[in-house]
Chain A
Amino acid sequence: MGAVAVRPVRGGETPTSASPWRFGAVALALLAGLVVLLGLSALVGPHWLPPLAVFAILLHEGSGGLLGSACGGLAPNPATCSIWTEVVWDARVPTLLVALFCGAALALSGGTLQGTFRNPLCDPFLLGLSSGAAMGASVLFTFQLALAEQATLLPVFAFVGALVPGMVVYAAARRFAANPEALVLTGVALSALFSALLATFLFLNPSGGLQVSFWLLGNLQDQTWTRAGLLAATVLIGGSLIVLYGRELNVLQLGPEVAESVGVEARRTTRRLILLSTVVTAVAVAFTGVIGFVGLVSPHVVRLLVGPDYRRVLPLAALFGAVFLLGASDLAQVILPQIFLPVGIPTSFAGVPFFLYLLYRPGSRAR
């Protein structure tokens, strides 16, 4: 290796930057997609409800009863209407909100980890953060089921669980700075370990065996307004803080030493960003289990569209992650309406080929 034979980690074929209108166009397209998918998500489910009734319920409940009438007059009787309302407003809406913010959380976390570790193969799933969080949550779930019903404690345990792989990965990144694959392999090993621990804890719970697949492969069902609110607040606050570090992330791509020489508090910023990623990942995982590849794919797709500037990549990746996860969830329900297919399965089907592409594309270091 020669003096400056530092190989590009990211592919050289990505656009350098996009004009502001391109950022705006992509943002608008993603927002439009999000609105469409939110509407679609409200319609799909194991019970078929008339679409117009669903929208009437959304309008009526969403406006606090000011607009429209209950069920839009489409329900045969008030009892049915109240069931419909419950299905839409108390089950479907929290679920789609959790899906939206979970997708955003994972994408933000993935983009942040890729940036802080300067490694395109990072995401909370591949680095073991998700499995650690799920393991933490499962402790509470297994041993204190009554407490687990309270939405607030699960994320705390998930966060503690995610801190362990978070710190190991942080140490590994410093140790293997020159070797991106070593970091990912460390993450994969951690992920396997925490998945095994998670499964063990769940099987200890007499009725927990069935939960294993949901925790390991993701589960968007059975959400509540409390959970949706908690996740939304975490993602909005944590995500805003992450996005505010976009400029620092840009400079950090030149390595911590150069970044510090132009004035970036490299070590402090790195620690904070990893902590923020861990928090948003933990809260998402606490309610949905482990959903893979959303965090890997979203920032890369956005980078291909608008270039590498993190100030643009991060907010758009959050939008893309929300669209991606909602879409995957809807797809699973449309194709296999009788089964609650864990949402991690369709995201993996989409994500694994993308991961292999990143690994084997021209210019990748990992060959």
Chain B
Amino acid sequence: MSETSGSGLGIADLSVHYGDRPAVSAVSLEVAPGEVLALAGPNGSGKSTLIRAVATDLEGTVGEVLAAGRSLGGLRPPERARLVAWMPQEEPPGDNVPLADYVDYGRYAHLARWSASSAEDRAAVATALEEVDLTALAQRGIHELSGGERQRARLARALAQDAPVLLLDEPTAHLDVGHQLDVLERVRAHARAHRRAVLIALHDLNLAARFTDRVAVLAHGRLRAVGPPSEVLSSELLAEIWGVVAEMRRDPRSGLPYLIPQLPIRPSEPARPHRGFRVHVVGGGGSGAALVRAAIERGWDVSAGVLPLFDTDSELVREFGVPAAFELPFAPIGPDALRRLDALLGTADAIVIAPFPVGPTNLANLEHLVAWTRRRPILLVDHPTGERWDYAAGRAEAVRAELLAAGALSVPDLAAALAWLSARSGRPAAAPATAVE
């Protein structure tokens, strides 16, 4: 019953205007039969509009859309419906009809005019219900379904339409995590088995990475990147498109990328070139908190890291909206965090190493800075005498000596560090008395 096609979905130079406002600008995309392509992008980036423009005869659309080799331009709804099936993000509740009748609406375009459903239609409805695991509820009224069941019912309606191109707009919205995985797995299996070209708008980039063959990123209606998730998804892309600081890691089993979003980038901070004096604080465990606070009170820009997530310093840094590199708690500092650290150090005027306890997991914080001694002034704040701080079997002491040898300056305490920084910043220190305890 599957209508296989050789050519899937082709979108060429598609633009959509709502009145004067461009919602989608010159987007070109191909989705091959059997391929699942995720459409990602922030809210308002034009994902739903792009999908609508393919699914319906949307006003203000210019460009060419091909489905299974046929141009959709000028097609009447029944012909279009046989080529493209659409699961919209939301729809009116409609009448409380039995689920099976509701799914049968997807068969409309396959019916001869004013004829009853055929055996083929009934089989398609049964298959679609089976594919979303709702066979048992076939006679239940759709208003009596749970949110997740309703969502799967709408997917079933689109599947029953039996079109070579399948458009799904946020199919996992309102689903719990189990059903999110389940639905996307079913969609992917359906695409493979029936050679459907599937375009899915997805907010969750980790799901996109896990279940789709390629990701297309939209921002302000323009296509910004297309490719396999491992090539397209990156911390830089998230910062640029979504304005979010995120760590990108790789699933050790699948090798697929996954992102750990951390901080929204506030307008007052990093992405733009900073104007003032910028201090980078390397700390952890609360050692850097006083310095961060004092620097902010002096009107300096501050960055921090690498900090373990959820520790005292990282919580403070989040509270102040200070850009920082993070690592998971108790995990060794990884390459992504170090890349982020390098980006921050590259725009800092001075680096201060707070007296933080060093163990095997955060030793990289010190080691990594050796290379930076030639590029930025580095201050090493001494540990209080007698306090144990090297939990890395002497390696921390060794790296510290290496830093000093390479040109880092040792200062006895926080006050001395602040005095040095004030002189360096070119601004007289007019710090309130409470700034340094």
The interface of chain A, by Cβ under 8 A from chain B, is 3-4, 6-10, 12, 14-17, 118, 244, 247, 250-251, 253-255, 257-258, 260-266, 307-309
What is the total of A-B residue contacts with beta carbons within 8 Å? 110
Partner of B108, one of A15, A244, A262: A262
Cβ contact within 8 Å between B88 and A258: yes
Question: What's the Cα separation between A284 and B147 when bound, in Å?
Answer: 45
- Least CB distance, B254 to chain A, in whole angstroms: 31
Cβ contact within 8 Å between B95 and A250: yes
Binds A, one of B79-87, B309-317, B401-409: B79-87
Partner of A264, one of B55, B77, B95: B77
- B108: chain A residues at CB < 8 Å are 247, 251, 262-264
Cβ contact within 8 Å between A261 and B97: no
Cβ contact within 8 Å between A250 and B97: yes
Question: What's the Cα separation between A43 and B226 when bound, in Å?
Answer: 80
Within 8 A of A (CB), among B140-193: 140-144, 147, 157, 161, 173-174
- B91: chain A residues at CB < 8 Å are 6, 254-255, 257-258
Given A250-B105, A253-B92, verify A266-B98 contact (CB < 8 Å): no
B338 at the interface (CB under 8 A from A): no
Question: What's the Cα separation between A38 and B126 when bound, in Å?
Answer: 46
12 extra interface residue pairs, beta carbon distance < 8 Å, beyond A4-B173, A9-B93, A264-B78:
A10-B96, A16-B98, A16-B141, A17-B101, A17-B141, A258-B86, A260-B57, A263-B80, A263-B81, A264-B108, A307-B97, A309-B101
Question: What's the Cα separation between A15 and B90 when bound, in Å?
Answer: 24
- Least CB distance, A269 to chain B, in whole angstroms: 10
Question: What's the Cα separation between A262 and B56 when bound, in Å?
Answer: 10
Question: What's the Cα separation between A48 and B226 when bound, in Å?
Answer: 86
- Least CB distance, A176 to chain B, in whole angstroms: 14
B267 at the interface (CB under 8 A from A): no
Which chain A residue lies CB-closest to B100?
Answer: A17
Given A12-B143, A260-B77, A264-B77, verify A3-B105 contact (CB < 8 Å): no
Interface centre among B82, B92, B141, B161 (most CB of A within 10 A): B92
Cβ contact within 8 Å between B94 and A3: no
Cβ contact within 8 Å between B143 and A244: no
B272 at the interface (CB under 8 A from A): no
- A258: chain B residues at CB < 8 Å are 86, 88, 91-92
Question: What's the Cα separation between A255 and B105 when bound, in Å?
Answer: 13
Partner of A257, one of B78, B88, B144: B88
B355 at the interface (CB under 8 A from A): no
Cβ contact within 8 Å between B55 and A253: no
Partner of A261, one of B56, B76, B101, B174: B56
Question: What's the Cα separation between A118 and B105 when bound, in Å?
Answer: 17
B109 at the interface (CB under 8 A from A): yes
- A6: chain B residues at CB < 8 Å are 90-93
Question: What's the Cα separation between A250 and B108 when bound, in Å?
Answer: 11
Cβ contact within 8 Å between A16 and B97: yes
- Specify the main secondary structure of chain A where it touches its partner: loop
- B78: chain A residues at CB < 8 Å are 263-265
Which chain A residue lies CB-closest to B94?
Answer: A253
Which chain A residue lies CB-closest to B81?
Answer: A263
- B142: chain A residues at CB < 8 Å are 16
- A16: chain B residues at CB < 8 Å are 96-98, 139-144
B262 at the interface (CB under 8 A from A): no
Interface centre among B80, B81, B93 (most CB of A within 10 A): B93
Cβ contact within 8 Å between B93 and A8: yes
Cβ contact within 8 Å between B90 and A253: no
Produce 1/0 per residue, B106-140, CB < 8 A to A. 10110100100000000000000000000000011
Partner of B77, one of A4, A8, A266, A308: A266
- Least CB distance, A324 to chain B, in whole angstroms: 23
- B86: chain A residues at CB < 8 Å are 258, 261
Cβ contact within 8 Å between A253 and B77: no
Cβ contact within 8 Å between A309 and B97: yes
- B139: chain A residues at CB < 8 Å are 16-17
- Least CB distance, A247 to chain B, in whole angstroms: 7
Cβ contact within 8 Å between A254 and B92: yes
Which chain B residue lies CB-closest to A254?
Answer: B94
- A250: chain B residues at CB < 8 Å are 95, 97, 101, 105
Partner of A262, one of B109, B143, B173: B109
Question: What's the Cα separation between A258 and B80 when bound, in Å?
Answer: 12
- Least CB distance, A267 to chain B, in whole angstroms: 9
* 12 A-B pairs whose Cβ atoms sit less than 8 Å apart in the complex: A8-B93, A14-B96, A16-B139, A16-B140, A16-B142, A255-B91, A260-B77, A261-B55, A263-B82, A263-B109, A307-B96, A308-B97
- A307: chain B residues at CB < 8 Å are 96-97
- B98: chain A residues at CB < 8 Å are 16-17
Cβ contact within 8 Å between A4 and B97: no
- A262: chain B residues at CB < 8 Å are 81, 85, 105-106, 108-109, 157, 161
- Least CB distance, A3 to chain B, in whole angstroms: 6
- A244: chain B residues at CB < 8 Å are 114
B2 at the interface (CB under 8 A from A): no
- B161: chain A residues at CB < 8 Å are 262
Which chain B residue lies CB-closest to A12?
Answer: B143
